[in-house]
A = this chain, B = another copy of it.
Amino acid sequence: MEVTQGIPITPKHWKELVAEKKGRQAATIPKEWILTNLPPKDKLSVIDFPEKSGLLTARDIEITNTEVDELLSKLAKGIWSAVDVTTAFSKRAVIAHQLVNCLTEIFIERALKRAAELDEHLATTGKVVGPLHGLPISLKDQINIKGLESTMGYVSWIGQYAEKNSVLVDVLEACGAVLYVKTNIPQTLMWPETYNHIFGRTLNPYNRSLTSGGSSGGEGALVALRGSPIGVGSDIGGSIRIPAAFNGLYGLRPSYGRVPYAGCVNSMEGQDSVPSVLGPLSNSLGGVKAFMQSVASKHPWLKDPLAVRKPWNEEEYRLVEHGAGKKLCFAILWHDEVILPHPPVIRGLEETKRALLEAGHEVIDWKPLKHGELYKTLGAIWAAGAAEDYRVTTSATGEPVIATMELAIDNPDFVPSDIPAFRPLAEGVSAYQLWQIQKYKRDLRQEYLDHWNATVASTGTGRPVDGIISPCAPYVAPPHGKNKTASYTMTWNSLDYTALVLPTGLFVDPAVDTKKPAHTFFSDFDKTNYELYDPATFKGAPISIQLVGRTLEEEAVIGMGEIVDAALKERLVPAKL
């Protein structure tokens, strides 16, 4: 209890603060967009609902179903106005929110004003403001926009309005983008699912009994429902790629500093060894490319001291260092020797292998090197000070630190203290001890790079492996509370490799993705994971893969991603007809 001038002040209970904030959020939703025909809660797949909701006009549907390249082209030509496009995506975003609870801040009025200015600019000058002229872009909650809150799901941060834009917001606005919503996250951002005390839980639109992933889970669900053409997430251990994978999207985890992060809020700030990075989620690879190319065009390194001075490199995109992309050698990581992925994940890898071979590329096996060590090391670096960070942040209101993503936590009276935490609330270590862990991680990075370079002996291309194809997780989107490891994404954060998630176009089919007989388990967790699999549970979940390139090789990974994507579409789309 605080005491001011002798008078004790009883602070509001954190639940009161939540109620106030939720009231303010509700008031930002245009009343005429509140639906009364929502599907029942037990309707699992809602992916098709927006078009049937009755709220979207045919034009709205056409706009929101259009991919980014085409949207940008129509916006630049004035065929579609920024106001029309912003209206269509805003409506669809609000529909999505009512289906899967994906938004935090909603500021459509402000967005429409901005869109009108952009239309005016184009009409007057005949020129676009920048390469993203008129395109709505949604942002993960932590990305500061002047005048708005970035609670990041912390009750203690309610009412803190950003005093200035994050650098990325300035960059995107300079590119002509229209910002209109921010999206849901887990408290701390350090969970691969999306729940917090303020905004609650985000669901997977393909199957609402499954998680949308996290921490950029709001983005994943929103973009999948086509409530946003490009969403910006962040990724310190998989937080862009897990939601991209679980929601059937393209999602890029760039290398440290490639996209400006300055001016965002975050957990564990000052942890300099494994920085979180910002990156895009989109329904097309064109959306990923447009985002990366546009951001680089604004020289973010002149505005963010941690952004890397590296302009978009067209030669790298054209795969000059990879034999011009004519015959690539991919290596598939079937499992990491820690956890065997579930049958649908394996099927995704197998189909990708076939597609690449049919397209004339080489495919070999990737031998994992100390993935378990990389995973543990990253966790140890976070654990070095995470608990104290969370305690300090939550102490202002006494809100509980969330220690589970199980459904039980949706109950407002649930007390999470005796559930084992995903991140142990340990006491931390000394700076010297942290340095020893970081040194070990550096040594592992060197070993891994040498391991990669040594593949030159087995590719047949004269080059080391061009890209690694990896699972995104040992499962497709699992039920709420069951996403207990991010090892298949964290590995690449430890190594700072560029990693792109792509949908295979496949979805879990219980008739095809049957349970396999038990294998010799790598670990107890592998056993638990095996037992988790039941084809019916995962029905309809998208199957995705991860394409991994070297550090700061964003251009080449996008270039190779286009090749993989085309191969998968060539193979699988006709098969669906």
Which A residues lie at the B interface, using CB under 8 A? 262-263, 268-273, 301-306, 308-310, 384-385, 388-389, 428-440, 442, 445-446, 448-449, 453, 495-496, 550-553
| Minimum CB–CB distance for A304 against chain B, Å | 8
Contact residues in B for A388 (Cβ distance below 8 Å): 430, 432
- Nearest first, the 4 A-B pairs at minimum CB distance are A270-B439, A270-B435, A385-B432, A384-B431
Contacts of A448 in B (CB 8 A): 305
A551 contacts B442, C-beta separation under 8 Å:
no
Q: Contact at B552–A309, with CB atoms within 8 Å?
A: yes
Known contacts A271-B435, A430-B428, A431-B429; A305/B385 CB under 8 A: no
Contact B453 A389 (CB under 8 A): no
When all copies of this chain in the complex are counted, the total is 2
Query: Which residues of B have CB within 8 Å of A430?
Result: 385, 388, 428-431
Residue among B271, B305, B429, B453 making CB contact with A551, cutoff 8 Å: B305
What's the Cα separation between A271 and B309 when bound, in Å?
A: 23
**A78 CA to B309 CA, complexed, in Å:** 39
A410 CB to nearest chain B CB (Å): 31
A303 in contact with B435 given A262-B446, A272-B272, A446-B262 (CB within 8 Å):
no
Point out the residues of chain B lying under 8 angstroms from A309, CB to CB: 310, 550-553
Answer whether A435 and B302 are a contact pair too, CB < 8 Å, given A309-B310, A430-B428.
no
Question: A270 touches which one: B268, B301, B303, B438 (CB < 8 A)?
Answer: B438
How far apart are A310's CB and chain B's nearest CB, in angstroms?
6
Most B C-beta atoms less than 10 A away, residue of A306, A309, A385? A309
- Contacts A308-B308, A438-B271; is A303 near B432 (CB within 8 Å)? no
A97 to chain B, nearest CB (A): 33
Q: Tell me, in angstroms, the Cα distance from A442 to B428 when the chains sit together.
A: 22
Closest to A381 in B: B431
A262: which B residues are within 8 A, CB to CB? Answer: 446
Contacts of A263 in B (CB 8 A): 446
Return 18 A-B CB contacts under 8 Å, by A number: A262-B446, A269-B442, A270-B435, A270-B438, A270-B440, A270-B442, A273-B273, A303-B449, A304-B446, A305-B445, A305-B449, A306-B445, A308-B552, A384-B431, A385-B430, A385-B434, A428-B430, A429-B430
Bound form: Cα–Cα A435–B308 in Å = 21
Q: Identify A305's interface contact among B268, B273, B436, B496, CB under 8 A.
A: B496
Q: Closest chain B residue to A269 by CB distance?
A: B439
Query: Which residues of chain B have C-beta atoms less than 8 A from A273's C-beta?
Result: 272-273
- Report which residue of A262, A301, A430 has the largest number of chain B beta carbons within 10 angstroms of its beta carbon: A430
Query: Shortest distance in angstroms between A254's beta carbon and chain B's nearest beta carbon?
Result: 12
B residues near A435, Cβ cutoff 8 Å? 268-272, 385, 389
Inter-chain CA distance A496–B273, complex, in Å, is 16
**Closest CB of chain B to A396's CB: distance in Å?**
17
| Beta-carbon nearest neighbor of A273 in chain B | B272
CB distance from A270 to the nearest CB of B (A): 3
Nearest CB of chain B from residue A236's CB, rounded to whole Å: 14
**In the complex the two chains form, what is the Cα distance from A6 to B528 in whole Å?**
48
How far, in Å, is A106 (CB) from chain B's closest CB?
29
